Amino acid sequence: MPVFAFNGIDATGKPTKGVREADSPKALRGVLRREGIFVSDVKEDRSGAGITKGKGLSREFSWNNLLGPARVTRKDLSLMTRQLATLLRAGITLSESLAALFDQTDHRALKSIIGDVKTRVNEGSTLADALLNQKQARALAGRGLAVVMQILVRKAKGEDPFTEKVFSELYINMVRAGETAGNLEQVLARLADFMEADLKLRSKVQAAMVYPIIMAVVGVAIVAILMIAVIPKITEIFADNEQSLPWNTEFLIWSSHIVGKWYWLLTLLALVGVVAFAAWSSKPAGKRQWHAFVLKLPLVGNLVRMVVVARFTRTLGTMLASGVNLLKSLDIAKDILGNVILVEAVEKAREAIKEGESIAVTLKKSGHFPPIVTHMIAVGEKAGQLEVMLETIAINYEDEVDASLTRLTSMLEPLMLVLMGGAIAFVVFSILMPIMDMQSLATQ
Average pLDDT over residues 279-305: 85
pLDDT, the chain, mean: 79
Higher pLDDT, 54 or 206: 206
Higher pLDDT, 332 or 22: 332
pLDDT of residue 64: 42
DSSP secondary structure code for residue 323 in this structure: T
How confident is residue 263, by pLDDT bands cut at 50, 70 and 90?
A: confident
Asked whether the beta carbons of 37 and 20 are under 8 A apart, the reply is: no
pLDDT of residue 156: 60
Higher pLDDT, 313 or 163: 313
Q: Tell me how crowded residue 421 is: count the other CB atoms within 10 A of its CB.
A: 11
d(CA 25, CA 41): 9
Average pLDDT over residues 164-176: 84
- State yes or no: pLDDT of 157 exceeds 80: no
pLDDT of residue 49: 41
Higher pLDDT, 65 or 46: 46
How confident is residue 8, by pLDDT bands cut at 50, 70 and 90?
A: confident
Asked whether the beta carbons of 431 and 252 are under 8 A apart, the reply is: yes
Average pLDDT over residues 166-184: 85
With residue 51 as reference, give the H or E element that holds it.
strand 51-52
Q: What is the pLDDT of residues 29-56, one digit of tens each?
A: 777 777 777 777 777 765 444 433 333 3
Domains of the chain: 3-65 (no CATH), 71-175 (1.20.81), 176-444 (1.20.81.30)
Q: Tell me how crowded residue 382 is: count the other CB atoms within 10 A of its CB.
A: 12
Q: What is the pLDDT of residues 348-399, one digit of tens each?
A: 888 888 888 888 888 888 788 888 888 998 898 888 888 889 889 988 888 8
pLDDT of residue 141: 55
pLDDT of residue 439: 67
Higher pLDDT, 239 or 292: 292
pLDDT of residue 54: 37
Closest CA to 127 of 79, 82, 174: 174
How confident is residue 300, by pLDDT bands cut at 50, 70 and 90?
A: confident
Higher pLDDT, 228 or 238: 228
Asked whether the beta carbons of 211 and 409 are under 8 A apart, the reply is: yes
Beta strands across the sheet bearing 38-44: 15-21, 3-9, 38-44
How confident is residue 161, by pLDDT bands cut at 50, 70 and 90?
A: low
Name residues whose C-beta falls within 8 Å of residue 92's C-beta, 6 or more positions apart in sequence.
100
Higher pLDDT, 141 or 418: 418
How confident is residue 153, by pLDDT bands cut at 50, 70 and 90?
A: low
Amino acid 194 reads: F
- State yes or no: pLDDT of 7 exceeds 70: yes
Output the DSSP codes for 337-393: S--HHHHHHHHHHHHHHHTT--HHHHHHHHT-S-HHHHHHHHHHHHHT-HHHHHHHH
Q: What percent of the chain has pLDDT over 90?
A: 1
Asked whether the beta carbons of 305 and 338 are under 8 A apart, the reply is: no
How confident is residue 214, by pLDDT bands cut at 50, 70 and 90?
A: confident
Higher pLDDT, 239 or 136: 136
pLDDT of residue 149: 60
Q: What percent of the chain has pLDDT over 70?
A: 84
Asked whether the beta carbons of 74 and 195 are under 8 A apart, the reply is: yes
d(CA 29, CA 38): 8
Average pLDDT over residues 228-245: 72
pLDDT of residue 354: 84
- State yes or no: pLDDT of 409 exceeds 60: yes
Average pLDDT over residues 121-141: 80
CA 50 and chain centroid, separation? 28
pLDDT of residue 60: 37
Asked whether the beta carbons of 25 and 4 are under 8 A apart, the reply is: yes
